């Protein structure tokens, strides 16, 4: 009975196996079979840089315009294949620079001879980018488009008792099988094989010491007959795997006293010295250093600038000459992408160290800053803290937005223009429009802020404090912005990366700015919930635009009800403009500004939407609220005794808050009480 159950489960598991894919990934054939594959598809011989560049492009890309600049978003970095677990947000410009390095290297323009160095503050996703590239090349090597091949030797070995035993020796460095073709013969044969294709087969490199030894020995045995030598060769698919140490290497510096360069280039196998008689016999050497096993793929250097100087010599040769020097063996060819990452203090040490000039000269530095766009920063926290990942807790609207807002504010430099606050700068970067600020002004703001995104608070700190708020007993199952902002402020006292009291004070002041912004946001939401729905605002906006259009063009407005043409409604226009403190003397400028903005959008084929003009949006909401606020008295919300009619109105407002803005019963009540206290405070002042 038990055996039957086991068999049933085993068979059910076995049905999940894709036999066809397994057969493709374990394909094996002779050297002639491989040459026929190359003839059909020369791209399987691509270099490591070409393979990674094609892998990135295989996921697609999309173009968009930001501040009049054409940008490219490479979908590979969205990590859709793995559900966005390692998705990168808001770094399209640095990622474009990185992909351009791969593109240049793929075309042999020189960057293939450089160490790619990702540089930025802690928590800016440098490691995530490296992880994505390693994970991506693994997956790509399993597809028909990303197929790569290597080879093994089938040899005969005489045992101690005199019998001949078949032995299989895998190429220890997963080399391209075409390396078996002597270099002098390659130009002619490669040109013939690639004939009719737009891809030129790479020149290739020399065999590794172990394969070179076997090749030379077999040539001697066969009297120099190449055809007989390659009869001993079996070509098979090369599937990259970081866990199996095939095509992907990762090196992390240890304690300086324990660093050993053999970790990069391999070491002697002392057990085999007795068998082969010499420690300079390549068969008695383990070519299993990180450079060896990463051949044909990618090697990641974690905190690369913490390497001992002895390691850096290996790095220089590996990048510029594509060669490494294993102990007691000649320089050995490698073909791999060398990717390192480091933080700013380590990079400054490199800049100040005159002995490191050679490394600096062989390095392509890609700055990976913190995100400076609010909507993109918010996506980081939405990925980790959402309804699917958090059970039994509700996150009140704007909680993650306010945390993200504070994080971005800490990274922005104070604007040099005196009429602009850092909060307004954040809104401009996030796509909002402000009076007298064009896209050219935003470009200038970015240019004058050279270090923006390289300082400030890390997303990890925000994530930790959101987690603290989630596990606290406060909030009755619902966490709100004040809970998270209080956690953020409390943590500043012991934050290990804040070096000065001045910075600590600035961050606290920015928290106050965020709290004030939150007050304005929830006041507007409650006002909207009380006043009306979006349709009413749209109608009011349409009416306002019709009137200012007629006013600026010195025309009349057609009354929709009477059909008569009338003068523009000055009273209506001023009642809206006064809500945002537009004085009488400035009304003409403001109206022309709105009409010019609408005209500019029309030229670009876009439609005007009041939501994109923050000031006008606010004015319309305040006007509508004023027209309808008498239907419910906000101060009644904080009263302990309310009549049935008032309670019904309160419930209606709460219902709108929950329906339109994703509040729950708890946080909608809290917000209404909070906003009521603000208005009560205002009434008291009056």
Does residue 6 belong to any structural domain of this protein?
A: no
Q: Which residue has the higher pLDDT, 342 or 349?
A: 342
> Is residue 3's pLDDT more than 70?
no
Does residue 41 belong to any structural domain of this protein?
A: no
93-106 pLDDT tens trace: 999 999 999 999 99
> Is residue 683's pLDDT more than 50?
no
Phi-psi label, residue 233: left if phi above 0, alpha if psi -120 to 50, beta otherwise: beta
Does residue 87 belong to any structural domain of this protein?
A: no
Does residue 353 belong to any structural domain of this protein?
A: yes
Are the CB atoms for 250 and 242 separated by under 8 Å? yes
- Tell me the two tokens of residue 391: 């059970």
In angstroms, the CA 658 to CA 655 distance is 5
- Rg of the chain taking only CA atoms, in angstroms: 33
Mean local confidence (pLDDT), 475-488: 90
- Say yes or no: 305 and 330 in one domain: yes
Domain termination site, one of 528, 545, 567: 528
How many domains would you assign to the chain? 3
% of the chain residues with pLDDT over 70:
94
Res 1: pLDDT: 43
- Say yes or no: 514 and 549 in one domain: no
Res 86: pLDDT: 93
> Is residue 4's pLDDT more than 60?
no
- Say yes or no: 199 and 290 in one domain: yes
The two counts, helices (H) then strands (E), for the chain are: 28, 19
Are the CB atoms for 207 and 214 separated by under 8 Å? no
In angstroms, the CA 660 to CA 674 distance is 19
228-261 pLDDT tens trace: 999 999 999 999 999 999 999 999 877 665 667 7
- Say yes or no: 459 and 540 in one domain: no
Instruction: Provide the pLDDT confidence category of residue 483 given band limits of 50, 70 and 90.
Output: very high
Mean local confidence (pLDDT), 440-458: 87
HSE (CB half, 13 Å, CA atoms) of 325?
10
Where would I find the H helices in 120-249? 126-141, 186-193, 209-221, 226-229
- Say yes or no: 511 and 548 in one domain: no
Angle at 506 between CA 500 and CA 507, to 5 degrees: 95
Mean local confidence (pLDDT), 133-143: 96
> Is residue 346's pLDDT more than 80?
yes
382-409 pLDDT tens trace: 998 988 888 888 999 999 999 999 999 9
In angstroms, the CA 176 to CA 295 distance is 10
The CATH number for 167's domain is 3.40.50
Are the CB atoms for 386 and 653 separated by under 8 Å? no
Q: Taking each helix axis from N to C terminus, what angle separates 614-628 and 534-552, rounded to the nearest 10 degrees?
A: 120
C-alpha closest to that of 378 among 90, 644, 681: 90
- Tell me the two tokens of residue 417: 């223009």
**Four-CA torsion 362, 57, 91, 346, nearest 10 degrees:** -20
105-137 pLDDT tens trace: 999 999 999 999 999 999 999 999 999 999 999
C-alpha closest to that of 422 among 395, 449, 447, 396: 449
| Structural domain boundaries, residue 428 | 374-528
Q: Taking each helix axis from N to C terminus, what angle separates 374-384 and 399-411, rounded to the nearest 10 degrees?
A: 130
Q: Taking each helix axis from N to C terminus, what angle separates 481-491 and 399-411, rounded to the nearest 10 degrees?
A: 40
Does residue 48 belong to any structural domain of this protein?
A: no
Where would I find the H helices in 308-413? 309-320, 344-352, 357-361, 374-384, 399-411
Please state the pTM of the whole predicted model: 0.83
Does residue 140 belong to any structural domain of this protein?
A: no
Res 438: pLDDT: 79
- Say yes or no: 515 and 441 in one domain: yes
Q: Which residues of 409-431 are buried (b: 16+ CB within 10 A; e: fewer)?
A: bbbbbebeeeebebbbbbbbbbe
- Say yes or no: 357 and 389 in one domain: no
- Say yes or no: 209 and 333 in one domain: yes
Does residue 251 belong to any structural domain of this protein?
A: yes
6-23 pLDDT tens trace: 568 888 888 888 889 999
Res 309: pLDDT: 72
46-85 pLDDT tens trace: 999 999 999 999 999 999 988 778 899 999 999 998 888 9
C-alpha closest to that of 265 among 336, 356, 179: 336
Domain termination site, one of 367, 388, 420: 367
pLDDT-wise least confident of 292-306, 368-382, 459-473, 531-545:
531-545
Average pLDDT, the chain: 88
- Say yes or no: 509 and 543 in one domain: no
- Say yes or no: 195 and 335 in one domain: yes
Angle at 575 between CA 573 and CA 577, to 5 degrees: 65
- Say yes or no: 363 and 245 in one domain: yes
In angstroms, the CA 403 to CA 384 distance is 14
> Is residue 630's pLDDT more than 60?
no
C-alpha closest to that of 342 among 264, 241, 454: 454
User: How many residues are there in the chain?
Assistant: 686
- Say yes or no: 332 and 436 in one domain: no
Instruction: Provide the pLDDT confidence category of residue 682 given band limits of 50, 70 and 90.
Output: low
End-to-end CA distance of the chain: 85
Res 678: pLDDT: 79
Domain termination site, one of 504, 528, 552: 528
510-533 pLDDT tens trace: 999 999 999 999 988 887 787 656
Does residue 167 belong to any structural domain of this protein?
A: yes
CB-based contacts of 422, cutoff 8 Å, min separation 6: 409, 412, 414, 415, 510, 513
| DSSP-derived secondary structure for 507-536 | HHHHHHHHHHHHHHHHHHHHHHHHH--HHH
- Tell me the two tokens of residue 133: 């590239």
Res 354: pLDDT: 74
């Amino acid at each position: 009975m038990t055996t039957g159950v086991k068999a049933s489960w085993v068979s059910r598991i076995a049905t999940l196996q894709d036999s066809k894919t397994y057969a493709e990934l374990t394909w094996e054939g002779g050297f002639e079979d491989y040459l026929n594959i190359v003839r059909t598809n020369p791209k399987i011989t691509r270099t490591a840089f070409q393979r990674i560049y094609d892998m990135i492009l295989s996921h697609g890309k999309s173009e968009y315009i930001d501040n009049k600049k054409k940008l490219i978003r490479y979908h590979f970095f969205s990590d859709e294949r793995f559900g966005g677990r390692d998705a990168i947000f808001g770094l399209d410009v640095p990622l474009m620079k990185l992909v351009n390095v791969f593109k240049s290297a793929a075309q042999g323009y020189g960057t293939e001879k450089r160490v790619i160095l990702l540089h930025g503050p802690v928590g800016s996703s440098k490691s995530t980018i490296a992880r994505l590239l390693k994970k991506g090349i693994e997956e790509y090597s399993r597809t028909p488009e990303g197929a790569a091949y290597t080879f093994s030797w089938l040899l005969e070995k005489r045992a101690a008792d005199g019998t001949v035993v078949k032995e299989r020796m895998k190429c220890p460095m997963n080399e391209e099988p075409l390396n078996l073709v002597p270099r002098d013969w390659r130009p002619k044969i490669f040109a013939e094989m690639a004939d009719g294709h737009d891809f030129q087969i790479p020149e290739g490199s020399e065999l590794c010491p172990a394969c070179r030894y076997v090749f030379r020995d077999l040539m001697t045995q066969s009297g120099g007959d190449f055809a007989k030598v390659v009869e001993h060769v079996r070509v098979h698919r090369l599937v990259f795997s970081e866990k199996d140490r095939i095509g992907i290497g990762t090196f992390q510096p240890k304690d300086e006293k324990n660093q050993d360069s053999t970790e990069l280039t391999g070491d002697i196998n002392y057990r085999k010295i007795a068998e082969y008689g010499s420690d300079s016999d390549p068969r008695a050497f383990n070519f299993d250093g990180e450079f060896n096993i990463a051949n044909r793929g990618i090697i990641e250097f974690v905190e690369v600038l913490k390497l001992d100087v002895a390691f850096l010599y290996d790095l220089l040769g590996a990048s510029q000459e594509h060669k490494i020097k294993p102990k007691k063996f000649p320089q050995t060819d490698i073909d791999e992408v060398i990717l390192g990452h480091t933080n700013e203090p380590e990079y400054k040490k490199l800049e100040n160290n005159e002995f490191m000039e050679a490394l600096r000269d062989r390095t392509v530095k890609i700055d990976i800053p913190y995100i400076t766009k609010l909507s993109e920063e918010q996506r980081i926290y939405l990925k980790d803290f959402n309804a699917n990942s958090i059970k039994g807790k509700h996150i009140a609207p704007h909680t993650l937005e306010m945390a993200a807002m504070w994080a971005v504010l800490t990274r922005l430099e104070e604007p040099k223009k005196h009429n602009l606050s850092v909060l307004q700068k954040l809104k401009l970067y996030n796509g909002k429009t402000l009076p007298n600020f064009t896209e050219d002004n935003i470009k200038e703001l970015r240019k004058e802020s050279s270090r923006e995104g390289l300082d400030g608070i890390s997303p990890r700190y925000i994530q930790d404090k959101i987690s603290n708020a989630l596990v606290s007993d406060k909030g009755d199952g619902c966490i709100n912005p004040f809970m998270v902002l209080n956690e953020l402020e409390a943590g500043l006292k012991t934050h290990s990366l804040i070096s000065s009291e001045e910075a600590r004070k600035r961050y606290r002041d920015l928290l106050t700015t965020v709290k004030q912004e939150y007050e304005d946001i929830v006041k507007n939401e409650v006002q909207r919930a009380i006043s009306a729905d979006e349709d009413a605002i749209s109608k009011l906006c349409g009416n306002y635009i019709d009137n200012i259009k007629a006013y600026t063009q010195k025309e009349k407005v057609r009354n929709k009800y009477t059909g008569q043409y009338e003068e523009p409604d000055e009273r209506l226009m001023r009642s809206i403009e006064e809500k945002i403190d537009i004085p009488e003397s400035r009304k003409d400028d403001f109206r022309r500004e709105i009409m010019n903005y609408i005209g500019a959008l029309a030229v670009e084929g876009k439609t005007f939407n009041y939501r994109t003009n923050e000031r006008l949006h606010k004015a319309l909401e305040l006007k509508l609220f004023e027209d309808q606020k008498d239907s419910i008295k906000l101060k009644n919300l904080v009263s302990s005794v309310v009549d049935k009619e008032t309670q019904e109105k309160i419930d209606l407002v709460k219902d709108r808050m929950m329906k339109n803005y994703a509040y729950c019963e708890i946080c909608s009540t809290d917000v209404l009480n909070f906003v009521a206290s603000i208005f009560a405070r205002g009434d008291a002042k009056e």
